[in-house]
Amino acid sequence: MTSRKLKNYIEGQGCKCYAHNSSECGCNVDWTPKEVYELREDLEFRRQLYKVQAAQLDKIRSERDEAQDAIAGWDNKWKCAVEMAARAENERDSLQVALEEKYVEYDQLFDEAEKIRIERDEARTELEMWHDGNIIHLFHRDELEKTERERDEARGALMKIEDLFVDGTDVYADREKMGMIARTALEGAK
């Protein structure tokens, strides 16, 4: 029964035998109480509502599952990013240690260069003493030229190292180049 009909419904409506209830009626009229029809209508409404809510709940569950899958994917990506960051930090730390070692090497090279400069100055002083006496031996001339060559080579090596050190664009490659330059210069000085 629709709610419009239910609004005007009365038990036993249309009874021609003037009975007071269904047990007295012989004309087969509907004596079902109005509350029963209202409860049936309410039950049907609730069943439809339950179907809609169940469909919405299924949709929400599937969205939840998709979100959990996405979170698991992001969790894996996050773990990967954390591992990459840890590797980068370790690499950075090892490069810092290597750079500090190179600083020590550079200090040693600069000390060596200072010693070479002192030796050069001493050789110049000795040369001036020989010039003042107007006595220049072939042996001393060769030694002086050799010292000047070594000085110029050491100065060139130091300038190359200084250029790479100041440039500092590719620390690892620069470090290797500086080591090679210093090694070549020191081997040439022997």
On whether residue 82 sits in a domain, the answer given is no
8 SS3 class: coil
Identify whether 75 is part of a domain: no
The total of other beta-carbon atoms located within 10 Å of residue 182's CB is 21
The predicted structure's pLDDT at residue 47: 94
Average pLDDT of the segment spanning 8-17: 80
- With respect to residue 174, please indicate whether it lies within any of the assigned structural domains: yes
CB 81 within 8 A of CB 158: no
Within this chain, do residues 46 and 98 fall inside the same structural domain, yes or no?
Answer: no
Regarding whether 97 and 177 lie in a shared domain, the answer is yes
Assign 165 a pLDDT band (cuts: 50, 70, 90). low
pLDDT reported for residue 30: 82
46 and 95 in a single domain? The answer is no
- Looking at the structure, tell me whether residues 97 and 182 fall in a common domain: yes
* Domain presence at residue 74: no
Domain span at 172: 88-189
**Structure tokens given for 173:** 């490659």
User: What's the number of domains the chain is made of?
Assistant: 2
Q: Give a yes or no: residue 80 inside a domain.
A: no
Can you tell me the distance from the alpha carbon of 22 to that of 26, in angstroms, rounded to the nearest whole number? Answer: 8
CA distances for 56 relative to 49, 50, 53, angstroms: 10, 10, 5
Claim to verify: residue 36 and residue 93 sit in the same structural domain:
no
Would you place residue 126 in the very low, low, confident or very high pLDDT band (cuts 50, 70, 90)?
Answer: confident
Contacts of 110 (CB under 8 A, 6+ apart): 158
